[in-house]
Amino acid sequence: MQLVDEFRDARLAKRIRADIEELSTKAGADETNPLQIMEICGGHTHTIFRHGIDKLVPRSIEFVHGPGCPVCVLPMQRVDEFLELAERDSVILTSYGDAMRVPGRNGSLQQCKAAGVDVRMVYSPSDSLEIARKNPDKQVVFFGLGFETTAPATAISILQAAKEDIANFSVFCNHITVPPPIRSILEQADVSIDGFIGPGHVSMVIGTRPYDFIAEEFGKPVVVAGFEPLDLMQSVLMLLRQIVEGRVMVENQYSRVVTRDGNPVSLSALNEVFETRPSFEWRGLGEIESSGLRIRKQFAEFDAEERFGIGYGSSVTREGYRDQYPCGKVMIGKLKPFDCPHFCKDCTPETPLGALMVSSEGACAAYHQYGGFQ
Ligand code: SF4
């Protein structure tokens, strides 16, 4: 297939693999002391397992699967709070499909839908806006979820609702941002990541500049990567070149899509509608400072937290809830999915117990689907 085949060329992959092997040896890595490379984005985790890149690279390279799947890190409390809205009269809940299976304490959106709750799957927040236009006697609440990739679409839907004065549309905002959890991981003393593969889609919006602190403050190289197998192979090679040559910087392998300063239209919509929360809870990781977005007061009428008096408080601080599963340790590379006693036993994609089994981009779901557990 044109435009895809050239990123899946097996001969090129073998050549890059040979270069990776040579450089990782020069870097002093071997299978007993591998270089740990964290891919931040769940899309990259999926590509790595789907195409067997973890097996293709030499054993001197170990991938650590970071917290880059927004569905996986969504705290249970937020699912519960969203579902509680359905107990009010005349409310239609709308959500992206991948959030439908996230378990809350009283079930997932999908299970509640099966039990009769009016939860509708949408492909975009503008679909949700259309449902609001067609149902003026109902309150339509969209479950805003995702990183800087999906947040602009939510922002634009709020701007559109304000422009049309649509009074029965609001957003339950759970948008989060990528740089703060990377800082949080790097500040943990016992985490030893040698380099980062930066997210492609998020960087399309925010650019590569927001990752400068990783190189400047923490001395770790970053390469923003595309999603095809050769993109990832080349990104590993670029990281190794930095390590061997003693350079530490943010490089951009995905230059066909990503720029240094990001997408100004998306960034403008984001800044107009959202502000940073003091902190936000990440399932499995706990509270992370300045890692969430909330709707500005100027747009309060479209903020479900304001409209329904929900108020943000994490499940950790409010109810003493802690994720009893070791998903957080998998996300920072301290454990592999197969180290978890629940993996492929009582925790499967059909019956996810923990965060990383819910979405196909979660590390445990990827291991399960592509046989990483073997
Ligand atoms: S197998 Fe399930 S419970 Fe264990 S780390 Fe993975 S998602 Fe979490």
Q: What structural domains does the chain harbor?
A: 5-70+179-242 (3.40.50.11750), 76-177+261-315 (3.40.50.11740), 327-367 (no CATH)
Query: Rounded to 5 degrees, what are φ and ψ at 293?
Result: -110, 145
Q: Which ligand 1 atom sits closest to the C-alpha of 347?
A: 2
Q: Is 199 in the pocket of ligand 1 (CB under 6 A)?
A: no
Q: Is the shortest distance between the CB of 340 and ligand 1 below 6 Å?
A: yes
- Closest approach atom of ligand 1 to CA 357: 7
Predicted pLDDT of residue 335: 86
Q: Is the CB of 102 under 6 A from ligand 1?
A: no
* Residue 343 CA, closest ligand 1 atom number: 1
In tens digits, what is the pLDDT along the chain, a chain of 374 residues? 556 778 888 899 999 999 999 999 999 999 999 999 999 998 999 899 899 999 999 999 999 988 888 888 888 889 899 999 888 778 999 999 988 888 788 888 988 899 888 999 999 999 999 999 999 999 999 999 999 999 999 999 999 999 999 999 999 999 999 999 999 989 986 778 999 999 999 999 999 999 999 999 999 999 999 999 999 999 999 999 999 999 999 999 999 999 999 999 999 999 999 999 999 999 888 899 999 999 999 999 999 999 999 877 655 544 444 556 788 888 877 888 889 999 999 999 888 888 788 887 788 998 898 875 54
For 188, phi then psi, to 5°, come to -80, 125
Identify the pLDDT of residue 2: 58
Supply 268's token pair: 């403008």
Q: How far is Cα 350 from Cα 357, in angstroms, rounded to an integer?
A: 9
**274 close to ligand 1 (CB < 6 Angstrom):** no
Residue 302 beta carbon below 6 angstroms from any ligand 1 atom: no
CB atoms within 10 A of CB 310: 16
Nearest protein CA to atom 4 of ligand 1, as residue = 340
Q: How far is the CA of 52 from the centre of ligand 1 (A)?
A: 21
Q: What is the pLDDT of residue 372?
A: 56
Q: What spacing in Å lies between the alpha carbon of 141 and ligand 1's midpoint?
A: 30
Residue type present at position 98: D
Q: How far is the CA of 344 from the centre of ligand 1 (A)?
A: 9
- Ligand 1, atom 5, residue with closest C-alpha: 327
CB of residue 343 inside a 6 A radius of ligand 1? yes
- Using CA atoms, how far apart are residues 236 and 67, in angstroms rounded to an integer? 19
Supply the residue whose CA is at minimum distance from atom 2 of ligand 1. 354
Q: Which residue has the tokens 């190794």?
A: 240
Q: What pLDDT does 355 receive?
A: 76
How far apart, in whole angstroms, are the C-alpha atoms of residue 343 and residue 365? 9
Residue 201 Cβ inside 6 Å of ligand 1? The answer reads: no
Query: How far is residue 320 from each of residues 102, 229, 286, 315, measured CA to CA in Å?
Result: 20, 42, 11, 6
Ligand 1 close to Cβ of residue 103 (< 6 A): no
CA–centroid distance, residue 254 to ligand 1 (Å): 31
For residue 330 and ligand 1, the question of a CB distance below 6 A is answered with yes
Q: Which atom of ligand 1 is nearest to the CA of 341?
A: 4
Tell me the C-alpha distance between 201 and 179, whole Å. 14
